[in-house]
Chains A and B, each alone.
Chain A
Amino acid sequence: AAGVIQSPRHLIKEKRETATLKCYPIPRHDTVYWYQQGPGQDPQFLISFYEKMQSDKGSIPDRFSAQQFSDYHSELNMSSLELGDSALYFCASSLGSGPNEKLFFGSGTQLSVL
């Protein structure tokens, strides 16, 4: 069965550069969530989209932006990268945005900022 696909799997950037992370949800899933997990930390909710509209916002820095496209894939754009942005970025998708919908996580993008 198709799962949530994130690309790239690994990304290395330098300070002040920009990065774009992509997420392809499970087919027919209309809701996408982004989480950030720092080294040894628990995942932190960043932002979510339902039917291409932002549905909720968490601890996402102003330097980051995200959107969901007409094919439901989502991109997380990160500018002016800082060392502290080094983390594992998870995307998750579900069919519908309610808590009763099962959330499926991708394998994550490991971002390293040097």
Chain B
Amino acid sequence: AQKVTQAQTEISVVEKEDVTLDCVYETRDTTYYLFWYKQPPSGELVFLIRRNSFDEQNEISGRYSWNFQKSTSSFNFTITASQVVDSAVYFCALTPYGQNFVFGPGTRLSVLP
């Protein structure tokens, strides 16, 4: 069985602060895929990143960066110099195959001006 935990239910930061969203997962599969999705107030789900279990290389994309540590089963997401437009619910998700994700409960990020 797979499980995704996002311990932070809500986070509030002031604009330009850095913020890290935690994601811890459980799976017995040796091959699996991890994702982050953003759900802004408008409701749609926006793909941010995909990682497979064999690739522990951290990734940076603009103000976003991801730290994948297989040893601790974590896939944390950091936003640098946060902006008001970053305010959204962020979901971490896991799948052993396909795209039938198991989503975490989400972290609501509020970036205050």
Binding site for B on A (CB under 8 A): 31, 33, 35, 41-45, 48, 55-56, 58, 88, 90, 92, 94, 97-108, 110
Contacts and interface: CB of A to CB of B under 8 A. Distances in A.
Given A42-B105, A42-B106, A102 B47 contact: yes
Given A42-B104, A43-B91, A99-B33, A108 B99 contact: no
Given A99-B52, A100-B50, A106 B44 contact: yes
Contacts of A106: 44
A75 B59 CA distance: 37
B99 A103 contact: yes
A45 B100 CA distance: 6
B99 A48 contact: yes
Contacts of A43: 45, 91, 101, 103
B100 to A, nearest CB: 4
A44 B101 CA distance: 8
26 contacts: A33-B100, A41-B105, A42-B103, A43-B91, A43-B103, A45-B101, A55-B98, A56-B98, A58-B100, A88-B43, A97-B98, A97-B99, A98-B97, A98-B98, A99-B52, A99-B95, A99-B98, A99-B99, A101-B99, A102-B50, A104-B47, A105-B47, A106-B44, A107-B44, A108-B44, A110-B43
